[in-house]
Every structure is written in C-alpha cells, then in structure tokens.
Amino acid sequence: MGARETISNWHTLDGDAVLGAFGVRPGLGLDARTVADRQRTFGKNRLPEPPPVAAWRLFASQFQDVLVLVLLGATALSALLGEVGDAVTIFAIVIMNAVLGYLQESRAERALAALKALSAPLARVVRDGRLRRLAAEELVPGDVVDVEAGDRLPADIRLLAATALEVEESALTGESVPVSKHCAPLQDVHLGPADQRNMAFMGTVVTRGRATGVVVATGLDSQMGRIASLLAEAKSEETPLERRLAGLSKILVTAVLGVCVAVVVAAVLRGEPLYRMFLTGVSLGVAAIPEGLPAIVTVALALGVQRMARRRAIVRRLPAVEALGCVTAVCSDKTGRSVYLNSPSVLAA
C-alpha cells in the first residue's frame, strides 16, 4: 500500500482482499516497524484542532470591542487634559471588563480541554500477535481491532467478523435507530456511508454485539475527518449582542463627535478662544461616553454564565449567553441531536 494511498470502495472488497491491501494477517496484526512507518506516513489518528490561544492573546482579544477602544481613547484624552482621576477610573473599568472576560473564557477552555482528555477513546488492537489496549490516536491503517457493545469506534473500519452487531450512527448520518452490520462485500460502488453495512465509522457507537475489523482510514481520511475539514472552513458570526454593541458604539461616537464639534464651532463663532473651546469639547466628549456600559454588560453576562454552569453547561464566550435569549424557534429531527437555531451565533458557545 503506497504512501497515503486511499481506496473509497472498501465496502466492495471481501475481507481477504482488504487484509491483503494492508499486508496484514488478522491473528498477528501489524508489527512495530510497520506501525512506526505508517504513523510517519498517516500521522496520528486524531482530528486536527486549532492551536491553543496564548494567554496574552486571549487577554488582548478583550480589547477588540469598539466601545472599549473608545474608552481607551477617552482615558488617554483625560490624562492629557490633566483629569487624572477620570483617567484612572475609566482605565480601571476597562481592565476589570477585560479581566472578567479573560477569566471566563480561559476557565471554559480549561473545562473543555479536561472533558476532551476524559473522553479520549481507547481501542483493543492486535499487534505482534497480542491483543493490546491502546489510545485510539495510535491506530494506523491496517490495524486489526476488536469492538463490542458500548465502544465508540476509534477509526473507519471494514468489518471482518461480526456477531449480532448493531451500531448507532446518528453522529454521522442523523439516524438515531441502530443499524445492523455484516461482513459480506457489497456490489454498489457508489453507496453512501449510511448504506455501507459492512463498514463502521469513527465516532459511532456499538450498541449491541461484537466484531473484528481492519482500520481502513484514520484522522482526516475518515468520514468524520472530512466533516471536520468542512467545519474548519466555516466562519464564526457575531452574536446579536455584539452586533448591537458595535452599532451602539458607532452611534455614540458619531453623536458625541457631532455635539462636541457643534459646541466648539458655535463657541468660536461667538469669539471664544479656539484652544480653550477645543479643551472644552474634548472634556465634553469624555464625559458623554458611558464608561460603565462595558463593565455592566460583562458582569450581567458573567452572572448568566454562572447560572448556566450550575446547570452543567459550559459557555466558551460570554456573548453566547445572550444569544441563547434571542432564539425563538428550535427545530430538531427525530434524533434530537441535529438542532437548527434561528440564531447561528449560539453555536459559538
């Protein structure tokens, strides 16, 4: 089998042909040298994840909101005008807002990482003639694995032997009813995953029976990997709250600048000194900006996150809590898993 060679019609081959393609015997499995070679070729059997965000980047992201940037500008102007007390107050509010957001998002990231570590699947693999229990990420194409009721499939597998095997494939196909599996080859080359009854796919769950199979695809080459690749290309959307705050920020900045310019121009036309009226206009602009708004919004969202946490729900981003309140319709198919919301931003949670 050549480097990264893939065959899309494993379901049409009989068991001996599949084993021959990988150069493996079911009773012996792969040897250590072959495993090492294939791990270098195919990589780890895991779906790629975005690199963890550095702490400083996560903290810096809290300052990307337009209103927060306006407040930082107001802090600088207050300091230039000698209003040290106002500058310190506004800056303290901005920092408190950033710290609250950072603490919540970092806590959610740690909780998600812990859950992923706990859910990392194991696999029973035949190697060098011995049945071993290994981390699923160590699997390579050609590995012979055993599965039984309660197991989550660690990779895409062509079944070699099955006894009363049923697999729940809703994570892949949306069908909640377990599907019975067999080992006989199928004739139709163009069958979709839902109809490939002699295959078992990564992420699905064995609900009944037991089976032995050979791994034919791992990582991004698996059916789940293809879905993960599509998801990685999806762009995140702003939540309704983020859109409203951005709009409010623009309105506030426009209105404040307009009023300040009007006051300065009117005063200068009446004969007031330009420099003094400029300082007056800047002071008026600083005073008109609601520096407490970001902190109030952040505290309110943080309280919502805490309430969700008491109900065992992890929210990664604070604004996603508010997005849940914008949902007016929830549509679900019979599996209860494929949920479509009228606010796509909720998925950011």
Length of the chain: 349
Q: Identify whether 156 is a catalytic site residue.
A: no
DSSP β-bridge partners for residue 30: 127
Helices (H), the chain: 15-22, 32-42, 55-60, 66-80, 84-119, 170-173, 223-233, 240-269, 274-288, 293-310, 319-324
Q: CA–CA separation, 332 vs 115, rounded Å?
A: 25
Which of 128, 188, 195, 333 is catalytic? The answer is: 333
Q: CA–CA separation, 70 vs 37, rounded Å?
A: 56
For residue 213, the tally of other CB atoms under 10 A from its CB is: 28
Burial of 176 (0-12, 13-18, 19+ CB in 10 A): middle
SS (H, E, C) 318-331: CHHHHHHCCCCCEE
Active site residues: 333
